[in-house]
Structure 1
Amino acid sequence: MKTVLITGCSSGYGLETARHFHAQGWTVIATMRTPREGLLPDSERVRILPLDVTSPESVASAVEAAGPIDVLVNNAGIGVVGAFEATPMSHVREVFDTNTFGVLAMVQAVIPQMRENRSGVIVNVTSSVTLAPMPLAAAYTASKQAVAGFTGSLAHELAAFDIRVKLVEPGYAPTTRFAANTVIPVMDLVPEAYAEFARPIFAGFADPALTTKESDVAEAVWLAANDASDRLHYPAGSDAVALARAA
């Protein structure tokens, strides 16, 4: 029986991915900053652990408590939406701490056991902004682009130890409330000078032409985790697939 550790399982992609892997018979280590009961099936194959990916101590503790890990899914992330001009650097750093450095920390923590076992898969969940950068999301895009480059490089580095590294690129999912779940209220980052430019973009958030379902991402992560090929990119959702084909 294989074990997957997934970050950011309190809602959205992470929670759906945890449910999907459990349904396939895997042991699931579901992590979140504040553990909550009732989110996942009451099963001996499900463990919920506290994890703050921005804390070295929390990362080390969670990986140790998890035990042997066959697959790591780095899903935890936060957003920041608005004009970059108005975005405080403190919030830019907060986004990078979770979206970028949190991923790097988790990967560095699990590599030793995977290298010793000469087996394992690391799946990093980014965003379709790595395929087509989105306006009013410059800091977020930068944090995800950094992970995309890191993943591609790491895939070469770890192939010698039979460790596969994959990149799942979800499209936009309104159900994850991306624009609402940001480190600072969105409209605080839209000065009057940007109002006319921002209006149709926010309208697109509310009524997107193409969307991604949480199940799309869970299935893409599942495929990536079980694909023995050297494929790197796994776009998830109709909008992400369309962007990938156009890239």
Structure 2
Amino acid sequence: MKTVLITGCSSGYGLETARHFLSQGWQVIATMRTPRHDLFPASSNLRVLQLDVTDADSIARALHEAGPIDVLVNNAGLGLFGALEATPMSTVREIFETNTFGAMAMCRAVIPQFRQRREGVIVNVTSSATLAPFPLVAAYTASKTAIEGFTESLALELREFGIRAKLVQPGYGPSTGFTANGQQRMHGLIPAAYEAFAQRVFAGFSNLAAVTRETDVAEIVWTAANDTSERLRFAAGTDALALVGHRAA
């Protein structure tokens, strides 16, 4: 029986991905900053562990408790809406600490055990914002685009040792709370000069014809984790797939 460790499982894509792997008979290590067992069905194949990807000691403790794993899914992330000129660099750094450096730290921590066994899979969850830009998320997009380039290089670096690295690019999922969380975090980040423009942007999000469901992402993460080819990118959701087609046209 294979074991997957997933970060950011308290809600959204991470929670649904953990549930999906459980349904497929895997051992699942669902991690989050504040552990909640009540989010999951009772299962002997599930462990819920505390993990903060921005804390090296927390990472070390969680991986020690987890023991050997077969797949790492880097899903933990922070959303942010705001005009760049109004966004403090401390906030930009906070976004990068979780979305970029946190994912890198998790990779560094698991690679030794994968290399010794000459097998293992890393799935890094990014965003369809890396496929097509949209306004007021420049810092967020930068943090996710960095992971795209990082994973491209890492996949080549690790192939020698039988380790596969994959990217999953989810579209926009209203049910994940990204918009709500982003609006909460953007207090003061929309100057008066941007207000009318920002309202048009938010209205556009609320009227999207195609969006990404949590189950879409869970299924694609599962596909990526089990893919034995050299394919790197896996778009998730109708809107993300449309963007892939648009870029290829």
2:52 maps to which residue?
52
Query: Is 2:147 the partner of 1:147?
Result: yes
Query: Is 2:100 the partner of 1:88?
Result: no
2:107 maps to which residue?
107
2:219 maps to which residue?
219
Q: State the one-letter code of the partner of 2:48.
A: I
Structure 2 SS opposite 1:121: strand
Query: Is 2:210 the partner of 1:210?
Result: yes
Aligned length: 247
Q: Provide the rounded CA distance (Å) in 2 between the counterparts of 1:184 and 1:12.
A: 17
Structure 2 SS opposite 1:43: coil
2:193 maps to which residue?
193
Q: Provide the rounded CA distance (Å) in 1 between the counterparts of 2:240 and 2:185.
A: 26
Structure 2 SS opposite 1:208: coil
TM-score between the two structures when normalised by the length of structure 2: 0.97
Q: State the one-letter code of the partner of 2:205.
A: F
Query: How far has the Cα of 1:30 moved from its partner?
Result: 0.2
Query: How far has the Cα of 1:125 moved from its partner?
Result: 0.2
Residues 173, 166 of structure 1: alpha-carbon distance in 2 compared, 3 angstrom cutoff: same
Please list the CA deviations of residues 221-247 of structure 1 after superposition, one character each: whole Å capped at 9, or x if unmatched. Answer: 000000000000000000100111111
Please list the CA deviations of residues 50-100 of structure 1 after superposition, one character each: whole Å capped at 9, or x if unmatched. Answer: 000000000111111111110000000001101111111111000000000
Query: How far has the Cα of 1:194 moved from its partner?
Result: 1.0
1:4 maps to which residue?
4
2:36 maps to which residue?
36
Query: How far has the Cα of 1:185 moved from its partner?
Result: 3.6
Q: State the one-letter code of the partner of 1:164.
A: R
1:27 touches 1:45 (CA, 8 Å); kept in 2? yes
Query: How far has the Cα of 1:189 moved from its partner?
Result: 1.1
Query: How far has the Cα of 1:186 moved from its partner?
Result: 2.9
Query: How far has the Cα of 1:187 moved from its partner?
Result: 5.0
Where structure 2 has 5 or more consecutive residues not aligned to the other structure, the ranges are: none
Range that drifts further, 58-67 or 164-173: 58-67
1:162 maps to which residue?
162
Structure 2 SS opposite 1:189: coil
TM-score between the two structures when normalised by the length of structure 1: 0.98
Query: How far has the Cα of 1:203 moved from its partner?
Result: 0.5
1:73 maps to which residue?
73
Query: How far has the Cα of 1:138 moved from its partner?
Result: 0.2
1:127 maps to which residue?
127
Please list the CA deviations of residues 3-28 of structure 1 after superposition, one character each: whole Å capped at 9, or x if unmatched. Answer: 00000000100000000000000000
Query: How far has the Cα of 1:40 moved from its partner?
Result: 1.1
2:98 maps to which residue?
98
Query: How far has the Cα of 1:207 moved from its partner?
Result: 2.4
Q: State the one-letter code of the partner of 2:33.
A: R
Q: What root-mean-square deviation, in Å, do the aligned CA atoms of Structure 1 and Structure 2 show?
A: 1.1
Residues 34, 183 of structure 1: alpha-carbon distance in 2 compared, 3 angstrom cutoff: farther
Structure 1 SS opposite 2:52: coil
Where structure 1 has 5 or more consecutive residues not aligned to the other structure, the ranges are: none
Q: Provide the rounded CA distance (Å) in 1 between the counterparts of 2:27 and 2:185.
A: 37
